[in-house]
Amino acid sequence: MHIDLLKAVENEQYSIEGSIKGDNTLFEYRNLKFDGDINFKGSYILRKGDLSVIGELTAKLDAQCDRCLKDVEINIKLPFNETFHANADKGEYAIENNKAVLDEAAYQNILLNIPSKILCKEDCKGICALCGCDLNNHDCDCRSDSDDNNPFAILKNIVGGAKNGGTKK
């Protein structure tokens, strides 16, 4: 999505609306995917050759709960406020050939606002590490079992023994 500045008059405000293709390579480090396009609605104004664009970004992301791996939908709704420069310095967004391309700025804004922890609900209990059941739906016996019945109890003893070994005489 880009803004064409050839006909833009300085200090005049224009509305703009459009969509940007969701780029899933952004999220290679996480299990996230765009569900459809990113939408932008806002306005722009040209001042002394620089373009300021303000508005709102909306997008939908498909993700998984960090604890129980259930599918989670994340609705992104972000204020957008960026300046595109006629003579851009390093790290600034540039106007090139009378055009300002919004895609990269939109991606960066979204990336910065992805929650660090994605949960299906705040108190998600996750998955039992021993039997793999979803603890939100089941109460498994893995933790409440007494050590006698728990096949993993013997492992606990070995680990504990090793830890204490050095201090015992």
What value does the CA radius of gyration of the chain take, rounded to a whole number of Å?
26
Per rule CB under 5 A, is residue 74 in the interface with Zn ion?
Answer: no
How far, in Å, CA of 41 to CA of 48, rounded? 23
DSSP secondary structure, 52-84, as one string = EEEEEEEEEEEEE-TTT--EEEEEEEEEEEEEE
Contact region with Zn ion (CB under 5 A), list: 1-9, 13-21, 80-88, 130-138: 130-138
The only residue of 8, 26, 114, 130 in contact with Zn ion, by rule CB under 5 A: 130
The only residue of 68, 100, 102, 110 in contact with Zn ion, by rule CB under 5 A: 68
Per rule CB under 5 A, is residue 135 in the interface with Zn ion?
Answer: no
Query: For Zn ion, which is the closer residue by CB, 63 or 68?
Result: 68
Per rule CB under 5 A, is residue 131 in the interface with Zn ion?
Answer: yes
Can you name the residues that pair with 33 across neighbouring β-strands?
62
The answer to whether the beta carbons of residues 95 and 86 sit under 8 Å apart is: yes
Q: Which residues bind Zn ion (CB under 5 A)?
A: 65, 67-68, 70, 120, 124, 128, 130-131, 140, 142
